[in-house]
């Protein structure tokens, strides 16, 4: 079982050498649940990069699905009922692999991840240095100085527990910004539908001895994201799932 990360890279280290990849080989997997206020902006930000955008509407009860259908440049998968983020991500990964994706990046739907950082993650995968790239908001405090203090404490507590239980040494266990090679993605079988799916992914990385790298990513804490996935109660749910999902 892998007990420490292979690499922890800074932005400067990853941009010293570039590795060519075709945007068409990259599939961006975006789970969506009731994101009608921001999902159009997220798609618009991604469009110029020419990646394959795979959006999984996880039984939204607002008009998220109607908004998604207005875009001709994306692939839409739909859960009739809400199954949870883990199930939505697994649906997206499975579908992307069937489409012969070379690289798969999971990306949140609330606008907290910058599209321009996807290239950095795929560059690392294309270099062959890692099978998996895990985004971390704790490797570079200058990028994420706005993390609320209580949230930082709760996330680090959940991370400490997950590191022990999964046998994998990372700094941010519940960051939705991740990249996988196709070979790595084939080993990911998510059965935990709630927040504990993140810990399950890490367990499978360790179980299959996949090479992984943590990469510093930016998380935008907006009024909207704090009202949804980034609110403190959600952080407590993460901690609860980390403690009691085993």
| Inside any domain, residue 130 | yes
Domain of 24 in residue numbering reads as: 7-244
Residue 39 has a pLDDT of 98
Asked if 82 and 103 touch (Cβ cutoff 8 Å), the reply is no
pLDDT (average), residues 205-210: 96
| Inside any domain, residue 2 | no
| Inside any domain, residue 1 | no
| Inside any domain, residue 75 | yes
How would residue 232 be classed by pLDDT, with cut points 50, 70 and 90? low
The Cα 148–Cα 232 span in angstroms is: 9
How would residue 1 be classed by pLDDT, with cut points 50, 70 and 90? very low
Percentage, residues of the chain above pLDDT 70: 79
| Inside any domain, residue 192 | yes
The residue assigned the tokens 């992984």 is 212
Residues 6+ apart with CB under 8 A from 235: 150, 151, 154, 155, 158
Asked if 63 and 82 touch (Cβ cutoff 8 Å), the reply is no
Q: What are 13-23's pLDDT values in tens digits?
A: 444 357 789 99
CATH at residue 146: 3.90.550.10
Asked if 19 and 123 touch (Cβ cutoff 8 Å), the reply is yes
Count how many domains the chain has: 1
Asked if residue 129 has pLDDT above 90, the reply is yes
Asked if residue 226 has pLDDT above 60, the reply is yes
DSSP structure class, residue 38: T
Rounded to two decimals, the pTM is 0.85
Q: What are 34-82's pLDDT values in tens digits?
A: 999 999 999 999 999 999 999 999 999 999 999 999 999 999 999 999 9
| Inside any domain, residue 29 | yes
| Inside any domain, residue 110 | yes
């Amino acid at each position: 079982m892998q007990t420490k990360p292979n690499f922890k890279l800074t932005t400067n280290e990853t941009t010293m050498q570039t590795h060519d990849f075709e945007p068409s080989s990259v599939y961006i997997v975006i789970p969506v649940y009731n994101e009608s206020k921001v999902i159009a902006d997220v798609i618009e930000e991604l469009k110029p990069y020419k990646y394959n955008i795979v959006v999984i509407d996880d039984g939204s009860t607002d008009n998220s699905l109607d908004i998604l259908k207005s875009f001709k440049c994306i692939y839409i998968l739909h859960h009739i009922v809400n199954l949870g983020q883990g199930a939505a991500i697994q649906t997206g990964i499975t579908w992307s692999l069937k489409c012969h994706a070379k690289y798969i990046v999971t990306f949140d739907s609330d606008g907290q991840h910058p599209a321009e950082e996807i290239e950095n993650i795929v560059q690392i995968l294309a270099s062959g240095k890692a099978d998996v790239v895990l985004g971390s908001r704790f490797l570079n405090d200058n990028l994420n100085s706005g993390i609320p203090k209580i949230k930082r404490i709760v996330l680090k507590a959940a991370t400490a527990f997950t590191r022990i239980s999964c046998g994998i040494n990372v700094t941010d266990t519940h960051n939705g910004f991740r990249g996988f090679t196709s070979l790595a993605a084939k080993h990911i079988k998510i059965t935990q539908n709630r927040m504990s799916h993140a810990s399950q992914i890490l367990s499978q990385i360790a179980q299959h001895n996949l090479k992984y790298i943590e990469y510093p990513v930016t998380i935008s804490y907006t009024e909207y994201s704090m009202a949804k996935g980034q609110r403190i109660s959600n952080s407590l749910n993460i901690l609860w799932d980390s403690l009691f999902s085993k």
